[in-house]
Amino acid sequence: MSTIAELAVPAAEVALGDTLEAVPDVDVAVERVVAADPGHVMPYVWFATDSSTLAAVDDALAADPSVDDATRLVTRDDTALYRIEWIDDVAVTVALLTDAHATVLDVTVEKTRWQFRMLFDDRAALSRTYEFATEQGLSIEILRINRLEERRHGRFGLTDAQYESLIAALEYGYYEIPREMDMDELSDELDISHQALSERLRRAHRTLVEELVTLDELS
């Protein structure tokens, strides 16, 4: 059965280790994940910090040995979006994690480590990836393992309506910060009442949390 795993790797072994050390108070968020091309798996990265510190981020990225080139694309108050071209070693590290034909679903940065949310064909593929990558010297911590149900809308106990509402909320930017679409606009798109949508999302969120907690305990 397909398996979703969350893996943590020290930033010093992936990327931005020097930047995170030079600007310790910065918050880092990966904007887009391109699963098909390990060399460009995380080209767009947000850095949030005090506005007076953004210049320090520019300097840190310019000096960071894991960064081949960094271009600031957007600046919003205390936040800036960069397009980053990584050195080849970063692509090699990502390739180690995807060697078993795994798919990178999401990438986040927590203080001094990168966290990868990945989809594997089964638990054995995850084990092979862990063994292979650690043999190559990568320090991997497995944070969470969940199974992926075969039913399309029924995975994690969601009803079809709950699943479709969550997908719509994600696609229309309801979960973005700041939100790109509010509850009223989303309910109009789905042609249901504000109250019905609110209750549907709350039930879906509760179901997801309960299912994930249960699966985490089992794993």
Distance (Å, whole) CA 99 – CA 89: 15
pLDDT in the model for residue 3:
85
Q: What are the two backbone dihedrals, phi and then psi, of residue 27, each rounded to the nearest 5 degrees?
A: -105, 135
Confidence of residue 99 (pLDDT cuts 50, 70, 90): confident
pLDDT in the model for residue 16:
95
> Considering only 61-65, 124-128, 147-151, 177-181, which range has the smallest mean pLDDT?
147-151
Question: Over the stretch 170-206, which tens digit does the pLDDT of each residue have?
Answer: 889 998 888 899 999 999 999 888 888 988 898 888 8
Q: What is the value of pTM for the model shown?
A: 0.63
Find tokens 């059965």 and name the residue: 1
Q: Is the dihedral of CA 107, 42, 51, 73 positive or negative?
A: negative
Question: Over the stretch 23-68, which tens digit does the pLDDT of each residue have?
Answer: 988 888 887 655 445 556 678 898 988 877 889 999 999 999 999 9
